Amino acid sequence: MPIPARVSRQIPPSRVAQLAHSVDSLSYQTSLASSVLNYKGDVERRQHQPNDDQEQDRMDLLHHVYRMLLKGELHYAPIVENPQRVLDLGTGTGNDLSAIQPQWAPPNCNFEIDDFEADWPFGHPFDFIHGRELAGSVKDFDRLFAQAFAHLRSGGYLELQSFRIELFSDDGSLDKAPFSKQWMGLLQEASNKFGKPLANMDEWPDKMKKVGFEDVTMHVMKVPMNPWPKDPKQKAIGRYMQFEQEQAAPGYTNALLSRVLGWSKEEIDVLLAHVITELRDRSIHQYSMMYLVYGRKP
């Protein structure tokens, strides 16, 4: 049934780990008991990746940017008009590895804490499987795509959306941002060393085709990283992205550079101070790329 526009009731903890239909296995699942909600701090932030209130606000802002990029849509895959079962992977402020989902949700929406790289326990196929900003969170995309394919009904779609952790400019002005270029290179180096790449989106279409997806389509969109464009909509997107990046940079950089590359907190702070200075410089016409890839199960 369509998801109701209003929020009708609170989901009790006992229901959070349930799906709309029963599943074959409840391994890895957990309810929102108080023990789940208590996270250890790391540099004054709750970690896996940041999940505190500031980070949740950032993810909500990024969701707004995605809606602007997609012209108000949530997805581009031509799914059926009334999908009955939809799976969202890594749901941001809905749910992630950490229990940060809202306490109120529509009655046909259930949250589940699980590892989507483990065996999927679902007993009924989905009409649509969606994942946003999963780059840097996945070790084995081949297996992820294979599991998604196996759990879609015939005619169902998988769609992934993610920013590429890399900066570009068309006029050479990025040469005035050496620290930003170094920063992106270090993030890519650390994520590759960690085994969860941040910039492998070009590989997704072939990997999806390899497991059986058809009509695989990829859209790539330029996204300004500060309000340098003259176009009003692009300028607004750039303004949002500048703020989003200033909020996101410490959380992701501290984790990767300190744990994987062995940087000190002081070294990271100095680098980020230069990065933010360059980010605020509107004479540097930097942009990133947003990738949207979808495919259909025949």
Specify if 48 maps to a domain: yes
pTM for this one? 0.79
pLDDT for 4 beyond 60? no
Specify if 175 maps to a domain: yes
Specify if 245 maps to a domain: yes
Specify if 26 maps to a domain: yes
pLDDT tier at 106 (50, 70, 90 boundaries)? confident
Higher pLDDT, 298 or 42: 298
- Is 186 within 8 Å of 199 (Cβ atoms)? no
**Which of 145, 123, 99 lies closest to 22 in space, CA to CA?**
123
pLDDT for 125 beyond 80? yes
Specify if 2 maps to a domain: no
pLDDT tier at 33 (50, 70, 90 boundaries)? very low
Length of the chain: 298
Average pLDDT over residues 6-30: 36
The mean pLDDT value of the chain amounts to 83
DSSP one-letter code for 202: G
- Which residues are 88's β-sheet partners? 130
Q: Any residues with CB less than 8 A from the CB of 208 and at least 6 apart, and which?
A: 145, 158, 216, 293, 295
Specify if 40 maps to a domain: yes
pLDDT at 280: 97
pLDDT at 36: 37
Q: How far is CA 237 from CA 185, 209, 230, 246, in A?
A: 24, 32, 11, 14
Q: Cα–Cα distance between 206 and 293 in angstroms, integer?
A: 11
Average pLDDT over residues 8-13: 37
Higher pLDDT, 139 or 34: 139
Per DSSP bridges, beta strands 45-46 and 86-89 are unpaired
Two tokens, residue 284: 């540097």
pLDDT for 26 beyond 80? no
Name the range with the highest mean pLDDT among 8-12, 29-33, 107-111, 120-124: 120-124
Average pLDDT over residues 103-122: 84
pLDDT for 195 beyond 60? yes
Q: Cα–Cα distance between 48 and 35 in angstroms, integer?
A: 15
Domain count of the fold of the chain? 1
Backbone angles phi, psi at 200, to 5 degrees: -110, 25
Higher pLDDT, 31 or 112: 112
Specify if 149 maps to a domain: yes
Chain-centre distance for alpha carbon 80: 24
pLDDT at 24: 36
Specify if 42 maps to a domain: yes
pLDDT tens track for 45-104: 444 445 456 667 777 888 999 999 999 999 999 998 899 999 999 876 443 444 555 566
| Helices 53-69 & 232-259 angle (0-180, nearest 10) | 140
Q: Cα–Cα distance between 169 and 149 in angstroms, integer?
A: 36
pLDDT tier at 44 (50, 70, 90 boundaries)? very low
Q: Which domain holds residue 267?
A: 9-296
- The CATH number of residue 290's host domain is 3.40.50.150
